[in-house]
């Protein structure tokens, strides 16, 4: 087994079996299939600048150092070929391009490619992103090593195994891009969001386009509001609406509120009617201010009639839990939708299965109105140690709930800003 950096092969002289120059190695072709892309062809540029693609089987020897690559046939007998659908030019696709290091969850630039030779075959096994790889790419590796010895310092290696590499800047079809980004899709949405924010707008859009709607929605939610708005506007309306439908209604409403009115209306009209109506209603509340209960609330909660038994409520809870943002509280509402009580999940589980909800619920419910300010919402959540607060209309109808995580997302940045300001006062 032999390790060969790609940049040490690039521009190497290629000879035919008689020792006559054919040209110089410009690039290698790899098959994108399998865990480690295998070199299948080489691209030779002739003295007249014409390119010749040859099968890897044409190579007789690949000497160490800077010795020429020797082919198996005379130049007149070479059999040029072309790229297959599953193949890509290695250097053009990856060298000097950005990739995601999925192990360290960061974006890096590829300075060199690590090839492994085994039994006459070459495979891509890693990429190099460190300073040593950059020096080698620029042709300054020797000078860099001399300088390092002179000052008694080490030139660092930063080698990333291919199993942790996710390419970004690649010209791929939509289907191939989805296959390539399989590793990235397995990361936590917050990590995907951090990676997306390190990229330029077109790269961000390419990644979100390749992810499934649910993963894309979760990742988009974790990004900064200006990034969300930019990405949604770059997408086709149908794709954007599919992602919005996967988001929590309050988060989708927040996003649409940051878009131009015409664009927001276009996306609402493209969404499924039920989801669009929920989001549109929240947008109306947000017009009063995002820092109010109405602007923060979500309509995804569980509310059952008071005549339901505990056992019936548990069965309905199992069936409907996936539609609610939180199941820590079960709200009880009458036929007109008025909030009349609440139970915690713990209280529901430990109650007598035959009892009706109206007999076990807490009737003195702490609630807020849609216009209630963020500060008061936060104070009530803290005072009563709640995970969510119901939002009711003037007539007492349950309109939504505000969850503690949505409040924290607004309050925590404010605290950081205040602390940062105090340092300079």
State the Cα–Cα distance between residues 227 and 214, nearest whole angstrom. 18
Which percentage of the chain shows pLDDT scores above 70? Answer: 86
Say what the pTM is.
0.64
State the Cα–Cα distance between residues 336 and 164, nearest whole angstrom. 55
For residue 413, which of 297, 324, 244, 290 has the smallest C-alpha distance?
290
Non-local CB neighbours of 260 within 8 Å, separated by 6+ positions = none
The 10s digit of each residue's pLDDT in 133-164 is 666 666 766 655 656 666 666 766 789 999 99
The 10s digit of each residue's pLDDT in 281-333 is 888 776 666 688 888 888 889 999 999 999 999 999 999 888 788 888 999 99
For residue 64, which of 8, 133, 7 has the smallest C-alpha distance?
8
Q: Confidence class of residue 356 from pLDDT cuts 50, 70 and 90?
A: very high
Domains for the chain: give ranges and CATH numbers.
2-150 (2.30.30.240), 172-287 (1.25.60.10), 303-409 (3.10.580.10)
For residue 279, which of 258, 304, 255 has the smallest C-alpha distance?
255
pLDDT of residue 422: 40
């Amino acid at each position: 087994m032999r390790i060969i950096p790609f940049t040490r092969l690039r521009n190497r002289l290629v000879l035919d079996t008689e020792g006559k120059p054919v040209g110089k190695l410009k690039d290698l072709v790899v098959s994108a299939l399998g865990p480690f892309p295998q070199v299948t062809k080489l691209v030779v540029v002739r003295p007249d600048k014409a390119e010749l693609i040859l099968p890897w089987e044409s190579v007789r020897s690949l000497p160490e150092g800077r010795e020429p690559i020797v082919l198996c046939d005379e130049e007149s007998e070479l059999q040029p070929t072309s790229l297959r659908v599953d193949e890509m030019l290695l250097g053009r696709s990856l060298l000097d391009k950005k990739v995601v290091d999925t192990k360290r969850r960061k974006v890096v630039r590829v300075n060199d490619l690590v090839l492994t030779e085994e039994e006459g075959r070459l495979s891509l096994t890693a990429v190099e992103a460190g300073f040593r790889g950059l020096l080698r790419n620029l042709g300054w590796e020797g000078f860099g090593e001399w300088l390092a010895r002179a000052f008694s310092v080490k030139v660092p290696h930063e080698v990333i195994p291919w199993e942790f590499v996710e390419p970004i800047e690649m010209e791929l079809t939509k289907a191939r891009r989805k296959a390539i980004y399989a590793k990235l899709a397995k990361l936590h949405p917050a990590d995907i969001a951090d990676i997306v924010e390190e990229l330029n707008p077109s790269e961000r859009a390419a990644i979100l386009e390749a992810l499934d709607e649910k993963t894309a929605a979760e990742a988009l939610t974790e990004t900064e509001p200006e990034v969300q708005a930019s990405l949604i506007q770059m997408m086709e309306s149908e794709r954007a609406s599919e992602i919005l439908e996967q988001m929590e209604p309050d988060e989708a409403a927040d996003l649409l509120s940051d878009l131009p009115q015409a664009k927001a209306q276009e996306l609402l009209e493209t969404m499924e009617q039920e989801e669009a109506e929920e989001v549109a209603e929240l947008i109306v509340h947000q017009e009063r201010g995002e820092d109010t209960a109405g602007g923060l609330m979500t309509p995804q909660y569980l509310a059952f009639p008071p005549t339901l038994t505990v056992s019936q409520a548990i069965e309905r809870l199992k069936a409907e839990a996936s539609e609610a943002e939180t199941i820590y509280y079960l709200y009880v509402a009458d036929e007109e939708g008025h909030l009349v009580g609440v139970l915690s999940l713990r209280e529901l589980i430990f109650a007598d299965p035959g009892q009706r909800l109206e007999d076990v619920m807490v009737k003195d419910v702490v609630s807020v109105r849609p216009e209630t300010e963020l500060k008061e919402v936060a104070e009530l959540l803290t005072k009563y140690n709640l995970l969510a607060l119901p939002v009711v209309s003037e007539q007492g109808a349950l309109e939504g709930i505000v969850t503690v995580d949505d409040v924290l997302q607004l309050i925590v940045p404010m605290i950081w800003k205040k602390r940062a300001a105090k340092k300079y006062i």
